[in-house]
Structure 1
Amino acid sequence: MRLAHRLLMATPSSIGSKSSLTEALALLPPLQLYRRLLRVHRKLDPEMRVLGDSYLKKEFRAHRTAENPLHIIGFLTEWQLYAQKLEGDNWTGEKLDKSKLDKLSGIFP
């Protein structure tokens, strides 16, 4: 994510990407977002927290060297939306969208 610092203030429309966001969202830098997610996971059940923290760590490590600007923006946007859902308790009882499920990396067996 070396290019991330240049892309932090880019809006989805300015890079030509069609996003699920209705308005431009200023993305957090990767390290700040990572810390925010770990803090948000504190309110989860212990089993869910262990699972969430390990998945989060593996995903951020796997995408550390990403160079594609659209990929970086998409990655950070989805994780930021996830953090906002957890902070607002909008996630309970919600099912994962089939398209998002297909895009998850196969880190866990």
Structure 2
Amino acid sequence: MRASLRLFAAPVPPSFRPGQRAQALALLPPIPLYRRLLRIHRKRLNPEERLFGDTYLKAEFRRHKDIENPLHIVGFLTEWQQYGQQIEGDDWKDQKIDPALLDKLSDQQVGQMYELMLAIQRRGRESVDEEEEGEILRAIDEAKGSGTT
């Protein structure tokens, strides 16, 4: 009986409005958060994005597993939890990085962001090149096919 009363007494979260940042959930411990993020990647990302996202996620959690500063731990978990909430929404692909967040990044972090941008641009050029090559090969095959008949 007490459990049901406790459920009725739970606060109701305010409704979510489009364009508004989702209200933060209670901070998840590292392992459940890690598993949740991998599930979100599996459900929401295409295979190429998922491969990149899973690799990055695993590397970041490994890199931070021995951190002992509570402020760093809370900050790390909070940002990853917000990332998960963002990926669950639909408008994340068109968003840009908040300038206030960029101002807080260290020089090393800015360098990592720049390397990430270059890798994405390279991958984009490679996929465009592959598409163009495929179109050229199709055109050659069609020309060969129409030339023999």
TM-score by length of 1: 0.68
**In structure 1, what residue type is equivalent to 2:53?**
G
Within 1, Cα distance between the matches of 2:53 and 2:30?
17
Within 2, Cα distance between the matches of 1:24 and 1:97?
18
- Normalized per residue, the structure richer in helix is 2
Higher Rg of the two aligned structures: 2
Secondary structure at 2:38's aligned position in 1? Answer: helix
User: Number of paired residues?
Assistant: 89
After TM superposition, the runs of 4+ consecutive aligned structure 1 residues lying more than 6 A away are none
TM-aligned CA deviation for residue 24 of structure 1: 7.0
TM-aligned CA deviation for residue 45 of structure 1: 1.3
Does the CA contact (< 8 Å) of 2:24 and 2:82 recur in 1? no
The reply on whether 1:92 has 2:108 as its aligned counterpart is no
Q: Structure 1 unaligned segments of length 5 or more: list them.
A: 1-20
Question: Identity over the aligned pairs, expressed in percent?
Answer: 57
The reply on whether 1:30 has 2:60 as its aligned counterpart is no
Which is bigger in relative contact order (C-alpha 8 A, separation at least 6)?
1
- Which residue number in structure 1 is paired with residue 40 of structure 2? 40
CA-based RMSD of the aligned residues comes to: 2.8
Secondary structure at 1:67's aligned position in 2? Answer: coil
- Which residue number in structure 1 is paired with residue 128 of structure 2? none
Matches within 5 A, 1:1-109: 25-42=25-42, 43-98=44-99, 99-100=101-102, 102=105, 104=109, 106=112
TM-score by length of 2: 0.51
TM-aligned CA deviation for residue 90 of structure 1: 3.3
- Which residue number in structure 1 is paired with residue 131 of structure 2? none
CA displacement, residues 36-68 of structure 1 (integer Å, 9 cap, x when unaligned): 000000121111111100000000000000000
